[in-house]
Amino acid sequence: MAITNTALTTIPSNIYVSSGNTVVSAMYFCNTDSGAINFNLYAVPSGVATANANVQIYNSVQVASLDTFVVDWEKLALGNGDRLVANITFGQANLAITATVSYVGI
């Protein structure tokens, strides 16, 4: 198992890019701000250039101040070059949410 950590901004950015075939087992979105912050999450197939509504899996999820939103689905299998992309909602505090992704190669 391995993890990655990424501070989110309003610009959709990669929080994890699969190298080979991997499985994401959990994700944590930790809000360190004094106010609630919303985030978006996208599962983007390899070769797709941008995050858009067609690949969005979470839309404007609110994380309360000093709280963590946990995504602990069964598993998310990703192929080589598939990626998870996230951003906070426009107009909110940059870097207020840290995304942590737990994954393992298969």
Please tell me the pTM assigned to this model: 0.93
Question: 55: domain range?
Answer: 2-105
Total tally of structural domains belonging to the chain: 1
pLDDT at 94: 83
What are the C-alpha distances in Å from 56 to residues 26, 34, 42, 84, 106? 17, 27, 4, 10, 24
Q: In this predicted model, what pLDDT tens digit does every residue of 36-47 receive, in sequence order? A: 999 999 999 999
pLDDT value of position 3: 96
Average pLDDT over residues 76-89: 96
CATH number at residue 86: 2.60.120
* Residue 24 pLDDT > 90: yes
